[in-house]
Copies of this chain bind each other. A is one copy, B any other.
Amino acid sequence: MSYTYPQPRPAVAVDCVIFGYDHRQHMPELQILCIQRSIEPFRGQWALPGGFLRLHETLDQAAARELHEETGLESVYIEQLYTFSALDRDPRERVISVAYFALVNLERYTLHAGTDAAQAAWFSVAKLPALAFDHKMIVKVALERLRGKIRYQPIGFELLPDEFTLSELQTLYETILERSFDKRNFRKKIHDYGLLIETGGMRRGKPHRAARLYRFDTKRYKALEKRGFMFEL
């Protein structure tokens, strides 16, 4: 079967920058999921997970589908990033790519390699391999967006499990923003927003004092947001 149009059309791809974070690591790093391409072009090279838009789905749906196919995860945070359209970004033909970025908490998820017959692996953003196409640029834009956004919207919680400690939260921010926060000031600020609910549970098992567990109060945040409240860290 083939499809014919009176004007030439670019192919429309969707590529995902899937950020992963594991609070259980001693010095956690922000990671990105890459897959090793099994077909040309760039066969054997690492690339961002992606594929072509199907006509019966929206871009959001296509991105969610790609994410599900690569990670097995559903209902994770994902948002559109930017649409890339350099003329030579794909050597085969004209392809524009609508990039998305997703935030995945790695506790919920362990790689089941070989999902799509393609090898998948997490790489620290500091040690990314060479990437196919213009994916290096896409990652750069995604990082800028994540770093810019996390300070003004409470999306960092998406990288942690439902219940987390204040230290885990602080380390997350320090990791992503590559700066340190004063412990007391950080906790005071977070506490004053009143957006965390103490679950009563404790994080135990480490040879030091146990830490209280909290949940992010999404309902309250959404209510406050409507009234013009702004989160800022």
Contact = CB atoms under 8 A, between A and B. Distances in A.
B2 A56 contact: no
A85 interface: yes
Given A60-B85, A85-B58, A9 B6 contact: no
A167 interface: no
Interface in A1-44: 1-12
Main SS at interface, chain A: loop
A5 B2 contact: yes
Contacts of A59: 83, 85, 96
Contacts of A85: 53, 58-60, 98
Instruction: Say how many copies of this protein the assembly contains.
Output: 2
Nearest to A86: B58
A63 to B, nearest CB: 10
Contact of A9 (B1, B3, B86): B3
Contacts of A53: 10, 85, 96
Contact of A52 (B4, B7, B94, B96): B7
Contacts of A87: 56-58
A170 interface: no
Interface string A204-233: 000000000000000000000000000000
Contact of A5 (B9, B58, B80): B9
B55 A8 contact: yes
Interface in A185-203: none
Interface string A85-101: 11100000010101000
19 contacts: A1-B6, A2-B4, A3-B6, A3-B9, A4-B5, A5-B9, A5-B11, A8-B55, A9-B9, A9-B55, A12-B12, A53-B85, A57-B87, A58-B85, A58-B86, A59-B83, A59-B96, A60-B85, A80-B83
Given A3-B6, A3-B9, A58-B85, 17 more contacts: A1-B6, A2-B6, A3-B4, A3-B7, A4-B5, A5-B11, A8-B55, A9-B9, A9-B55, A53-B96, A57-B87, A58-B86, A59-B83, A59-B85, A59-B96, A80-B83, A85-B98
